[in-house]
C-alpha cells in the first residue's frame, strides 16, 4: 500500500544531548505556538553556550517557563536565530523526515500541473524553512537559504532524487538570504552535471528558455505563471509592452495568445537573448522585439516617440526588499506607474507588479494609483494577483506573500 503524502511524518527520538535554547520572558511564545516559524535574535536567550552553537544546529526550543515549543534550526550568526523545524517536538531532519515533506510538496504540484515544471518547495510554507526548490523536468535546483539546509544539503538531495526521480540536482547559492545567514556563494552540481544549454519550459502556450547556471535566481520565475496567463487574455490583437521583462515572461505569453506585437525591455542583454530564443521556439519571432536599457529611460523614450500599447506590464525587481527601503521603494513604484500609464491606449490594460516583501498590498496599490493619477489617467482595478499555488503562503508569515500583481483598465 502506498503511503499517503498527508500521512504523519515518522517520529524520531532526538539524541540525548540535543541542545536546548530558550525564549526570553518578553518573547511572543504565543505566536510560535500559533505557527509563526521564526525566532529573532533579540527574543532568544543568547548565553555563551547558545552563541557557541554551530550554524545549522538542531535544538529544542523552550519558552521562558521551560515548556517545549518544538525543534528549531539555530544560527547564532543570523538575525533569524532559530527557524521552526518541527512543532511536534519529535521530528528531526533525517532521510525519512525529508522524504515525508518532499512527498507532501510533490503531491500538491502534481495535482496542479500536468508537466514537471514548477516550484516544488516554497520554504516555510512547505515545512522546509529557508529552502527553495524549482523543478525543470529531470533537473532540480535547490536554493538552501538557511544554514541548516546548507549543512544537510546531501541528505536533502538524496531524498529529493528518491521522491521525484530527478537525475540532476544543482545547488544555487545566489539567494540574498544566504549572505544574511553568513553562507558562501558557491554553486555546485550535487547530482549529475549542470546543463550546458538553456532548458525549454512550456507555460501559457509559450516556450521559455531557462538558464539554470547563468540566469537570475534558479533560472526562471515560476511565480508569475497565473498572472501572465490572466494578462494574456487581454492581448489578442494588441501591441504589448513588457518592461523589466527578464526572459520575456509576459510578452511571450501574450504573443502565444494572439498579440499583434510585443516589445520586451530589460537591462540585461543575456536575459533578452533568452527572450529572443523563446520567441523563436514559440514561433512568434516575427512579432517580437527587444530593447535593452534602463527601464525608466526606455519608458521616457517611448513617451517621446508617442508610442501606445493596448497592454503594458511592468514587473520590476524588489524596490523595497526590507523596511528601511520602503519609502524609496514606494516612490519608485509610483514613478513606474506615472511613466507607463500615458503609454496605455484608451481602454487598454496596465499590469503593475511588486515582489517587495516590505511593501504590502495596500501600500503598493496606493503607490500605483498615485502614479496613475499623476499621469492624468483614471483606472478600474480588474484583478489582484499573487504568486501561483506552487508558491503557497504560510498565513502566519506575511513575508511569504511577497508578490502582488494589479491589473488596471485605464
Catalytic sites, residue numbers: 355
Query: Could you tell me how many residues make up the chain?
Result: 410
The span from the CA of 191 to the CA of 188, in Å, is 9
| Element housing 398 (H / E) | none
Supply the DSSP symbol for 115: S
CB-based burial of residue 180 (10 Å sphere; 0-12 exposed, 13-18 middle, 19+ buried)?
A: middle
Backbone Cα Rg of the chain: 23
The span from the CA of 44 to the CA of 27, in Å, is 8
Helix (H, G, I), strand (E, B) or coil at 365: helix
DSSP state string for 235-278: -TT-EEEEET-TTTHHHHHHHHTT-SEEEEEES-HHHHHHHHHH
Helix (H, G, I), strand (E, B) or coil at 14: coil
Q: What are phi and psi of 85, to 5 degrees?
A: -100, -40
The span from the CA of 200 to the CA of 223, in Å, is 17
Q: For residues 350 and 312, is the Cβ–Cβ distance under 8 A? A: yes
Tell how far CA 356 is from the center of its chain.
11
**Helix (H) and strand (E) counts for the chain?**
12, 19
Q: Quote the Cα angle for 74-171-167, to 5°.
A: 125
The span from the CA of 388 to the CA of 162, in Å, is 26
End-to-end CA separation in angstroms for the chain:
56
Helix (H, G, I), strand (E, B) or coil at 2: coil
Amino acid at each position: 500500500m502506498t503511503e499517503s503524502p498527508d500521512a504523519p511524518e515518522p517520529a524520531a527520538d532526538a539524541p540525548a544531548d540535543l541542545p536546548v535554547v530558550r525564549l526570553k520572558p518578553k518573547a511572543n511564545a504565543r505566536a510560535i505556538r500559533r505557527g509563526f516559524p521564526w525566532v529573532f535574535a533579540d527574543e532568544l536567550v543568547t548565553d555563551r553556550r547558545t552563541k557557541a552553537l554551530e550554524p545549522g544546529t538542531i535544538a529544542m526550543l523552550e519558552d521562558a517557563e521551560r515548556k517545549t515549543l518544538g525543534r528549531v534550526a539555530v544560527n547564532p550568526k543570523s538575525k533569524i536565530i532559530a527557524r521552526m523545524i518541527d512543532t511536534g517536538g519529535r521530528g528531526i531532519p533525517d532521510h525519512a523526515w525529508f522524504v515525508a515533506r518532499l512527498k507532501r510538496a510533490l503531491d500538491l504540484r502534481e495535482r496542479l500541473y500536468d508537466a514537471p515544471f514548477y516550484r516544488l518547495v516554497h520554504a516555510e510554507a512547505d515545512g522546509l524553512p529557508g529552502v527553495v526548490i524549482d523543478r525543470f523536468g529531470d533537473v532540480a535546483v535547490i536554493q538552501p537559504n538557511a544554514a541548516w539546509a546548507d549543512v544537510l544539503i546531501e541528505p536533502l538531495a538524496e531524498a529529493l532524487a528518491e521522491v521525484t526521480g530527478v537525475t540532476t540536482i544543482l545547488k544555487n547559492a545566489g539567494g540574498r538570504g544566504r549572505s544574511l545567514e553568513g553562507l558562501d556563494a558557491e554553486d555546485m552540481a550535487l547530482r549529475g552535471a549542470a546543463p550546458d544549454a538553456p532548458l525549454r519550459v512550456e507555460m501559457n502556450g509559450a516556450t521559455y528558455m531557462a538558464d539554470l547556471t547563468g540566469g537570475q535566481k534558479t533560472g526562471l520565475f515560476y511565480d508569475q505563471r497565473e498572472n501572465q496567463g490572466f494578462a494574456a487574455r487581454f492581448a489578442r490583437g494588441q501591441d504589448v509592452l513588457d518592461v523589466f521583462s527578464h526572459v520575456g515572461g509576459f510578452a511571450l505569453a501574450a504573443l502565444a495568445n494572439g498579440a499583434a506585437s510585443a516589445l520586451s525591455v530589460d537591462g540585461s542583454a543575456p536575459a533578452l537573448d533568452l527572450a529572443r530564443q523563446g520567441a523563436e521556439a514559440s514561433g512568434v519571432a516575427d512579432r517580437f522585439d527587444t530593447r535593452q536599457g534602463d527601464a525608466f529611460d526606455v519608458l521616457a523614450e517611448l513617451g517621446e516617440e508617442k508610442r501606445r500599447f493596448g497592454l503594458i506590464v511592468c514587473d520590476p525587481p524588489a524596490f523595497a526588499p526590507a523596511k528601511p527601503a520602503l519609502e524609496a521603494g514606494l516612490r519608485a513604484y509610483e514613478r513606474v506607474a506615472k511613466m507607463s500609464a500615458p503609454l496605455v491606449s484608451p481602454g487598454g490594460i496596465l499590469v503593475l507588479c511588486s515582489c517587495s516583501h516590505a511593501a504590502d498590498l495596500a501600500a503598493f496599490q496606493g503607490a500605483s494609483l498615485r502614479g496613475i493619477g499623476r499621469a492624468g489617467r483614471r483606472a478600474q482595478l480588474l484583478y489582484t494577483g499573487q504568486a501561483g499555488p506552487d508558491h503557497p503562503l504560510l498565513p502566519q508569515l506575511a513575508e511569504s506573500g511577497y508578490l502582488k500583481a494589479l491589473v488596471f483598465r485605464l
